[in-house]
Amino acid sequence: MCRDPNVWRTVVLKKITSSELVLGMYVERLGRSWLDTPFWTRSFLLESPADLERIRAARLSEVWIDVARGRAPAVAVPVTVPPVVAAPAADGGLVRSAAPPMSRDDELAHARRLIERSRQAVQTMFDEVRMGKALSAAQAYELVDDIAASVLRGGNVLLGLARLKTADNYTYMHSVAVCALMTALARELGLVPEQVRSAGLAGLLHDIGKMAVPSAILNKPGSLSEAEFSSVRAHPAAGHRMLQEVGEIDPVALDVCLHHHEKLDGSGYPNGLCGEEISLFARMGAICDVYDAITSNRPYKQGWCPADSLRRMAGWRGGHLDAQLFAAFVKCLGIYPLGTLVRLQSERLAVVVGQTPGKPLTAPTVRVFFSIRAGTCIAPAVIDLAAPGCQERIVSTESASQWRLQDVDRYWAGEAAMA
């Protein structure tokens, strides 16, 4: 069973300064945003002298400790702690009570920091699993909650940034990206908050079995041998075994981990399931996993344009992918996802920088930066194609390589594209 996010719990908390911390205390939260601390989990038992020194060096004005779970200070008071995730939103989505809207620039900055911290956290978590340690479901849920909050508040910003990966961090960033995509798709489908959370956890852990596959195979730039491909195909079952060892793990995560490579026509693996034999969440996982994989740069291929990827995936509907779920997936990403290079009626090139809820999917907001007639870059300018009176429109998607353009992503993602 997964933990219920709507259950309040009464604990005994004490606020102290970082200088009062000693080994054996259970840190419930630090008096600073999680993104600004050197730790990838909010709450933990303080056992390492090195961790103690890192907290003291940060000179935090306050640290909250849970007396019931660790060493107690002189005086403690009972505090009722609310659930991490608040009540359902009116649209059936997942919300937090303290998640006010941000400007696009602020959301980009926040998403960059969250993605980097999430990548570090997933890498630490997966490396521990590789070394034989049991996964902490509570720590995984904390990551899911933060990723979900960003997705549900900032729309497609996190989804777009998570696509920007390097060969070195692909496995970890892929897990973060699929978590975000699963959260967005679950919300688009109108699933209840606990199901949205389950979908996010499943996305985060779906590829954990790759920790059993040698890195040389995962990062091989050429074609895999039959034996190497068999090793890769074994990762769903390996991941399923790893998650079974956790104990009280969400059954949705187990299901998606084992079955996200199944296909509707029965040609997938490991069990060759077909049609309704594949659960809703596993079919969702297949779509999110494939989309992020084909839009990302890999050692053996360049990622496809997001819009082109959706068009190609549309051709796989019915055989490989669930058509209705794919339609919902396109709706939450947009026909022209963030970062898509487009050609405008005015013979200018632009990148998609956002979509506005309630406006046509064919009319996103774009940033123009290149004149086709002049054959040169121009001063970037943002255009809302859905604005009243706007005569501009998209006539086609384009390939950056065709125009010999470098670092196109910087026109919408800024410094994140250069990392």
Residue 98 banded pLDDT, cuts 50, 70, 90 = very low
Per-residue confidence (pLDDT) for residue 41, from 0 to 100: 57
- Per-residue pLDDT of 219-239, as tens digits, reads 888 889 999 999 999 999 999
Per-residue confidence (pLDDT) for residue 89, from 0 to 100: 36
Could you tell me which residue, 185 or 110, shows the higher pLDDT?
A: 185
HSE-CB at 80 with a 13 A cutoff on CA atoms is 3
- Per-residue pLDDT of 323-354, as tens digits, reads 999 999 999 898 999 999 999 999 999 999 98
- Judged against a pLDDT cut of 50, whether residue 371 lies above it is answered with yes
Per-residue confidence (pLDDT) for residue 387, from 0 to 100: 92
pTM over cut 0.85: no
Domain residues of the chain, as ranges? 9-81, 104-333, 341-418
**104-333: which CATH architecture?**
Orthogonal Bundle (1.10)
